[in-house]
C-alpha cells in the first residue's frame, strides 16, 4: 500500500477520511466505524484501514468528533477561590482525574458572586462545556436544584436535597463526631466550634456542626451556645477574628474545633500572640489536611480527604450525567482520616 494508490490527493494537504477510504479500498462508513472503534468490522478490513491511517498520517478532526458526539470532552470546575490551598489541591486532583477519564478541565473562580455562580450552574452558555463540577456558596439552593435538572452537574461543597446534582464528599457529620471523640479521648471536656452557618443548613460547616453537637451530647460533654461561633468565610483572617472572640473563654474551653484548616491556622496565630498555649491550654483541630498545617508550629491536626478518590468519583458521576442520567441526585461518600499532630496532643495528668 503506497500513497500513489491515491492519485487525487493534493500534496501537503492533511489526509481526509475520504483519502483513507480510497487507499484502503473501503467505504467512508467502514473507516468511520474503525476510527470510532465500533464492532462488526472484519479483522482483515480493520487492519487494512488502520494501515491506511498510519501510512497517510490521518488524524480524526476534533471538530468532527464533537459534531458527531455532541460533546467537547471539556468540563468546568467552578470554585469560590482557586488560591486557597485545599481548593488548589482539589483542582489539581480533578485535572489529573479528567486526564484519566479523557476530559480536559476548565477552571473558573466564582468569587461567591450570585451571577457568576448562576452562569456556572447554567453550564457556561456558549462555551461548549459538557458538565460542571461545582462548589457553590451564594446561589439559592432551590434555584440550584432546578438548574441541575438541565446542566450535568456534580457538587463538592453544599448538598442539595432535590434536583439531579450528585454530591461527592466525606461524611461531614461522622468526621465531626470522630473529631470530638478524639478530643474527649485526649482528656478534653469543654469544646468550642467555629464554622457553622444556620442560613445554609446543607453547607459543610453546618453539617459538621450537627455531627459535633451529636457527639458532644452522646459523650456527655459540656456545651454552651456562646462556644459555637458562626462563620461564613473560611480564611486565616476569619480564624483570627473568631479566636479573638474566644479569648475571654480561655479557661472555660479546653479545645477548639474549626470547620477548616484555614480557620484553625488563624486561630492558632491569635492564641500564640496572646500567650495561649496550643495544645496545653486549648487543643485545636481542623479539616482539609492542607500542606500549611503540617509545617505550622505546633503542627495542625486535621481531617483528611482522599482527594484522588474524590476526584475519580466526581468524574464518574458527572460522566453518567453527561451521558443522559437524569435520576434523582445521589450522594457518593469517600473515606476520611484523622491526621493527629501536635495541636491536639492529649492533656497530661
Residue 26 included in any domain? yes
* Backbone φ and ψ of 289, nearest 5°: 55, 45
Handedness of CA 85, 90, 91, 96 (dihedral sign): positive
pLDDT band at 254 (very low <50, low <70, confident <90, very high): very high
* Tens digit of each residue's pLDDT (9 = 90 or more) over 194-252: 999 888 888 899 999 999 999 999 999 988 999 999 998 899 999 999 999 999 999 99
* Backbone φ and ψ of 331, nearest 5°: -110, 125
Which three-class secondary structure state does DSSP give residue 22? helix
Question: 276 and 294, same structural domain?
Answer: yes
- Four-CA torsion 211, 214, 220, 225, nearest 10 degrees: 80
pLDDT band at 185 (very low <50, low <70, confident <90, very high): very high
Q: What is the CATH number of the domain that holds 98?
A: 3.40.50.2300
Question: 187 and 275, same structural domain?
Answer: yes
Question: 270 and 283, same structural domain?
Answer: yes
Question: 288 and 176, same structural domain?
Answer: yes
How many structural domains does the chain have? 3
DSSP 253: B
Domain encompassing residue 253: 172-305
Q: How many CB atoms lie within 10 A of CB 150?
A: 12
Residue 346 included in any domain? no
Please name every residue paired with 203 in a beta bridge, in sequence order, or none if there are none. Answer: none
Q: What is the CATH number of the domain that holds 48?
A: 1.10.260.40
Residue 11 burial (10 A CB sphere; 0-12, 13-18, 19+) = exposed
Q: Is the pLDDT of residue 74 over 70?
A: yes
Question: 245 and 214, same structural domain?
Answer: yes
Residue 189 included in any domain? yes
- Four-CA torsion 254, 260, 262, 267, nearest 10 degrees: -20
201 Cβ contact partners less than 8 Å away, ≥ 6 residues apart: none
Most confident residue range from 42-46, 128-132, 184-188: 184-188
Which residue shows C-alpha cell 479483522? 43
Q: How far apart are the first and last CA of the chain?
A: 85
Which three-class secondary structure state does DSSP give residue 43? helix
Question: 317 and 250, same structural domain?
Answer: no
Residue 31 included in any domain? yes
Question: 238 and 326, same structural domain?
Answer: no
Amino acid at each position: 500500500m503506497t500513497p500513489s494508490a491515491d492519485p487525487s490527493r493534493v500534496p501537503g494537504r492533511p489526509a481526509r477520511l475520504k483519502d483513507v477510504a480510497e487507499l484502503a479500498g473501503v467505504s467512508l462508513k467502514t473507516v468511520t466505524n474503525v476510527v470510532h472503534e465500533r464492532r462488526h468490522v472484519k479483522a482483515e478490513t480493520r487492519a487494512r484501514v488502520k494501515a491506511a491511517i498510519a501510512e497517510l498520517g490521518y488524524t480524526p478532526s476534533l471538530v468532527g468528533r464533537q459534531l458527531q458526539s455532541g460533546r467537547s470532552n471539556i468540563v468546568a470546575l467552578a470554585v469560590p477561590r482557586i488560591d486557597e490551598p485545599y481548593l488548589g489541591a482539589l483542582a489539581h486532583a480533578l485535572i489529573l482525574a479528567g486526564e484519566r477519564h479523557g476530559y480536559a478541565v476548565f477552571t473558573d473562580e466564582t468569587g461567591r458572586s450570585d451571577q457568576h455562580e448562576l452562569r456556572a450552574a447554567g453550564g457556561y452558555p456558549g462555551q461548549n462545556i459538557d458538565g460542571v463540577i461545582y462548589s457553590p456558596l451564594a446561589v439559592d439552593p432551590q434555584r440550584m436544584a432546578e438548574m441541575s435538572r438541565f446542566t450535568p452537574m456534580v457538587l463538592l461543597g453544599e448538598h442539595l436535597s432535590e434536583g439531579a446534582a450528585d454530591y461527592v464528599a466525606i461524611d461531614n457529620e461522622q468526621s465531626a463526631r470522630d473529631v470530638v471523640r478524639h478530643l474527649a479521648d485526649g482528656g478534653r471536656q469543654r469544646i468550642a466550634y467555629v464554622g457553622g452557618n444556620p442560613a445554609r443548613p446543607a453547607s459543610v460547616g453546618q453539617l459538621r456542626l450537627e455531627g459535633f453537637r451529636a457527639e458532644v451530647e452522646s459523650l456527655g460533654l459540656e456545651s454552651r451556645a456562646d462556644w459555637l461561633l458562626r462563620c461564613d468565610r473560611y480564611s486565616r483572617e476569619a480564624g483570627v477574628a473568631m479566636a479573638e472572640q474566644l479569648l475571654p473563654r480561655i479557661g472555660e474551653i479546653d479545645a477548639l474545633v474549626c470547620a477548616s484548616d484555614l480557620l484553625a491556622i488563624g486561630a492558632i496565630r491569635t492564641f500564640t500572640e496572646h500567650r495561649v498555649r496550643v495544645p496545653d491550654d486549648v487543643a485545636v483541630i481542623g479539616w482539609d489536611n492542607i500542606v500549611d498545617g503540617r509545617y505550622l508550629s505546633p503542627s495542625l491536626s486535621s481531617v483528611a480527604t482522599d482527594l484522588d478518590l474524590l476526584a475519580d468519583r466526581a468524574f464518574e458521576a458527572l460522566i453518567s450525567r453527561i451521558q443522559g442520567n437524569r435520576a434523582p441526585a445521589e450522594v457518593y461518600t469517600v473515606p476520611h482520616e484523622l491526621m493527629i499532630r501536635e495541636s491536639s496532643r492529649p492533656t497530661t495528668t
